[in-house]
Structure 1
């Protein structure tokens, strides 16, 4: 079969890293861990399992860390798979990769997979599934787009195709960890929305080489950013929970859609409101405020 290197970004992932590495061993030529100086047993476990471990200080976001790996590490395989430590491929997808990849046409440089979320031990089949992401690509044919949140792998040339089977996002941490993670995400998401509204970074949004669903999601986010604060988070929850039948997923489904679809989005809007109340729409003031209050250099 075609040779594949797997890149996994880690920080304190001892709960997940063994499962993740074991999952990709059947097809991974090299399993590369880029670690941000974990203080738990992540590095020890990874090395014991034969992974190549590189330490690199966290640069502020996933995109910069992943692109550093692409640009600086010695990767000899034809294909690269990007995976989070709390993710794994279903056996059907592993088999599909082994069967199909070596016969892929030469102008196909990216493979899109469907992602399913396991939340509180239950697959959230309704409301957000499937999320389609470009995760497998030919070396030198893709990069991670530079965004504060919701960053995607994008091709620099060639086309992409979609495989049939799923990979899984299944985090084993508790609900408190989930909430704290989203509190951390909220300021980054607020910056992303402010960038869409005010063009903080002077960039234009490019969808040309994103997966079809990622590009569609980006267009929806552009529309979302133009809607009134707080109302939009409520409307998003109503859409997910009622119109896409999220309510059929029981108590787990309610918590998933309420926390991730309304509470989190409301928290993001609160931070957008906080920043604009202090700075208006002055870009320089916003950058300075975020740097001083949240220790993030824009």
Structure 2
């Protein structure tokens, strides 16, 4: 069994996060929220991490049983040349695992000091500075326990950040080079996202829904599967397209105007 330290970085929530975290022996820190990338990199720079390996988990994620077993049995037997490892992402929606989705492997484990998060507003991946990246094949789950109203409100706020990310990939509004050292699957996903950006607005979200729900057999996951693919695969991405359309309609492709419009209308300073 690996001895682990748990660091919780909270963005000044008003619930019982602090009490719950501390009751389980977690180290508790607070930092003002900007986005996931900024928050995670702040944790790497400010928390007194003294372990060899770091595991990133968001608030609605947890390790599956086989993920715990893989880490306990294999992690510290890896050669020093290995800097990071991927885990398999499982999606759980309304208590049901979405089994008919493309398999996604994500770098979530890395040696401390060898990686950090990309500076992106959405779809950020862990960027490894050097060394090998391997697949451990253990799993972690994304399982949000809140209701549909909470979920849709969250994704409405996410849609602004996703629109910023798409506009940044198209117009470099953040000034990022996007020349990052990603694992093979993340790099492939990023190339597919660029193709998605070049596809027609609104049509692309509908085709993405059809791909997931029909051609990848998402309909086999029952009513929960329909709601998952409809909301996350079509509704959410149509909402993102609506915000991209709104911004482009008002600003064209002028970077300074886009930045100013986003700050004025969405309160986000880029």
Please, what TM-score do these two structures have when normalized by structure 2?
Answer: 0.97
Aligned to 1:184: 157
Asked whether the 8 Å contact 1:197–1:225 carries over to 2, the reply is yes
Asked whether the 8 Å contact 1:132–1:211 carries over to 2, the reply is no
SS at match of 1:267: helix
Rounded Cα–Cα distance in structure 1 between residues aligned with 2:3 and 2:269: 36
The yes-or-no answer on 1:286 pairing with 2:261 is: no
The yes-or-no answer on 1:268 pairing with 2:243 is: no
Aligned to 1:5: none
Residue 28 of structure 1, CA deviation: 4.7
Aligned to 1:19: none
Asked whether the 8 Å contact 2:101–2:216 carries over to 1, the reply is yes
SS at match of 2:57: strand
Residue 165 of structure 1, CA deviation: 2.3
Question: Which of 229, 236, 243 is the equivalent residue of 2:208?
Answer: 236
Q: After TM superposition, list the pairs within 5 Å mapping 1:45-56 onto structure 2.
A: 45-56=20-31
Q: CA RMSD in A?
A: 1.1
The yes-or-no answer on 1:253 pairing with 2:253 is: no
In the TM superposition, structure 1's runs of 4+ consecutive aligned residues that sit over 6 Å from their partners are none
> How many positions carry a matched residue from both structures?
270
Question: Which of 35, 46, 49 is the equivalent residue of 1:61?
Answer: 35
Aligned to 2:128: 155
Question: Which of 40, 43, 48 is the equivalent residue of 2:15?
Answer: 40
Q: After TM superposition, list the pairs within 5 Å mapping 1:56-135 onto structure 2.
A: 56-58=31-33, 60-128=34-102, 130-135=103-108
SS at match of 2:15: coil
Rounded Cα–Cα distance in structure 2 between residues aligned with 1:201 and 1:82: 25
Asked whether the 8 Å contact 1:82–1:135 carries over to 2, the reply is yes
Asked whether the 8 Å contact 2:10–2:29 carries over to 1, the reply is yes
Asked whether the 8 Å contact 2:86–2:137 carries over to 1, the reply is no
Residue 29 of structure 1, CA deviation: 2.2
**Structure 1 stretches lacking a partner, 5+ long:** 2-26
Please, what TM-score do these two structures have when normalized by structure 1?
Answer: 0.88
Rounded Cα–Cα distance in structure 2 between residues aligned with 1:274 and 1:257: 24
Residue 76 of structure 1, CA deviation: 0.7
Rounded Cα–Cα distance in structure 1 between residues aligned with 2:229 and 2:3: 35
Rounded Cα–Cα distance in structure 1 between residues aligned with 2:101 and 2:52: 36
Q: After TM superposition, list the pairs within 5 Å mapping 1:189-208 onto structure 2.
A: 189-207=162-180
Residue 196 of structure 1, CA deviation: 1.3
Asked whether the 8 Å contact 2:7–2:47 carries over to 1, the reply is no
Aligned to 1:11: none
Rounded Cα–Cα distance in structure 1 between residues aligned with 2:69 and 2:245: 48
